[in-house]
Chains A and B, each alone.
Chain A
Amino acid sequence: MTEKKPTPLLDNLEAGPWPSFVKELKKSAKSPMVQDLLGVLERSYEDKMGHWKHGGLVGVRGYGGGVIGRYNELAREFPDAAEFHTVRINQPAGWFYTSDVIRTLCDIWERHGSGLTNFHGATGDIIFLGARTSEIEAVFGELIEAGFDLGGSGSCLRTPSCCCGMARCEWACYDTMALTYDLTQTFQDELHRPSFPYKFKIKSSGCPNDCVAAIARADLSIIGTWRDDIQVDRTAVTQYAAGGQIDIAADVVARCPAGCMTWDGRSIGIDNESCVRCMHCINAMPKALAPGKDRGATVLVGGKATILGGALLSSVLVPFLRMEPPYDDLKELIRAIWDLWGDHGKNRERVGEFIQRIGLGNFLEQIGLDPQPEMVAQPRTNPYISYEPKEGRP
Chain B
Amino acid sequence: MAQIVVGDVTIEVDEDGFIQEPEKWNVKVAQALAETEYVNELTEGHWRLVNYLREYYQKFGVAPMIRKLCKETGMKLAEIYELFPTGPAKGACKVAGLAKPTGCV
Looking at chain B's contact residues, is the secondary structure mostly helix, strand, loop, or mixed? loop
Complex: A83 Cα to B15 Cα, angstroms: 9
Task: Tell me if B103 counts as interface (CB < 8 A to partner A).
Answer: yes
**With A59-B86, A195-B70, A342-B67 as given contacts, are A347 and B78 in contact (CB-CB < 8 Å)?**
no
Distance of A319 from chain B, by nearest CB (Å): 31
Q: Mark B76-105, 1 if CB is under 8 A from A, else 0.
A: 011001000111111000000000111111
The reply to whether B85 and A61 form a contact with Cβ atoms under 8 Å apart is: yes
Complex: A289 Cα to B96 Cα, angstroms: 63
Q: Mark A59-78, 1 if CB is under 8 A from B, else 0.
A: 11111100001010000000
Task: Tell me if A296 counts as interface (CB < 8 A to partner B).
Answer: no
The reply to whether A154 and B90 form a contact with Cβ atoms under 8 Å apart is: no
The reply to whether B67 and A343 form a contact with Cβ atoms under 8 Å apart is: yes
Distance of A232 from chain B, by nearest CB (Å): 51
Residues A255-283 near B (CB distance < 8 A): none
Residues B42-79 near A (CB distance < 8 A): 62, 65-67, 70, 77-78
Smallest CB gap from B88: residue in A: A64
The reply to whether B104 and A64 form a contact with Cβ atoms under 8 Å apart is: no
Task: Tell me if A197 counts as interface (CB < 8 A to partner B).
Answer: yes
Interface size class of A (residues with CB under 8 A): 20 to 34
The reply to whether A64 and B89 form a contact with Cβ atoms under 8 Å apart is: yes
Smallest CB gap from A137: residue in B: B38
Interface size class of B (residues with CB under 8 A): 20 to 34
Task: Tell me if B8 counts as interface (CB < 8 A to partner A).
Answer: no
The reply to whether B67 and A195 form a contact with Cβ atoms under 8 Å apart is: yes
Smallest CB gap from B38: residue in A: A61
The reply to whether B90 and A189 form a contact with Cβ atoms under 8 Å apart is: no
Task: Tell me if A236 counts as interface (CB < 8 A to partner B).
Answer: no
B100 touches which one: A55, A189, A198 (CB < 8 A)?
Answer: A55
Complex: A57 Cα to B18 Cα, angstroms: 9
A57 touches which one: B38, B67, B70, B100 (CB < 8 A)?
Answer: B100
The reply to whether B103 and A155 form a contact with Cβ atoms under 8 Å apart is: yes
Smallest CB gap from B67: residue in A: A342
**With A63-B87, A64-B87 as given contacts, are A347 and B81 in contact (CB-CB < 8 Å)?**
no
The reply to whether B90 and A59 form a contact with Cβ atoms under 8 Å apart is: yes
The reply to whether B100 and A155 form a contact with Cβ atoms under 8 Å apart is: no
Distance of A40 from chain B, by nearest CB (Å): 16
B16 to chain A: which residues have CB within 8 Å?
Answer: 56-58, 69
The reply to whether B103 and A57 form a contact with Cβ atoms under 8 Å apart is: no
A62 touches which one: B66, B85, B88, B105 (CB < 8 A)?
Answer: B85
Smallest CB gap from B105: residue in A: A194
Smallest CB gap from A54: residue in B: B102
Distance of A156 from chain B, by nearest CB (Å): 10
Complex: A73 Cα to B66 Cα, angstroms: 30
Complex: A196 Cα to B90 Cα, angstroms: 16
A348 touches which one: B70, B104, B105 (CB < 8 A)?
Answer: B104
Complex: A343 Cα to B104 Cα, angstroms: 14
Complex: A63 Cα to B77 Cα, angstroms: 11
The reply to whether A348 and B103 form a contact with Cβ atoms under 8 Å apart is: yes
Complex: A133 Cα to B90 Cα, angstroms: 14
Distance of B29 from chain A, by nearest CB (Å): 18
Task: Tell me if A193 counts as interface (CB < 8 A to partner B).
Answer: yes
A71 to chain B: which residues have CB within 8 Å?
Answer: 15
Instruction: Given contacts A61-B86, A155-B66, A193-B78, list 16 more A-B pairs with CB under 8 A.
Output: A56-B15, A57-B18, A57-B100, A58-B16, A58-B90, A60-B86, A62-B81, A64-B81, A189-B78, A193-B87, A194-B66, A194-B87, A194-B89, A196-B66, A347-B65, A347-B103
What would be 14 A-B contacts, judged by CB atoms less than 8 Å apart? A57-B90, A59-B87, A59-B90, A64-B87, A133-B15, A155-B66, A193-B78, A193-B81, A194-B87, A195-B70, A197-B65, A342-B67, A347-B65, A348-B103
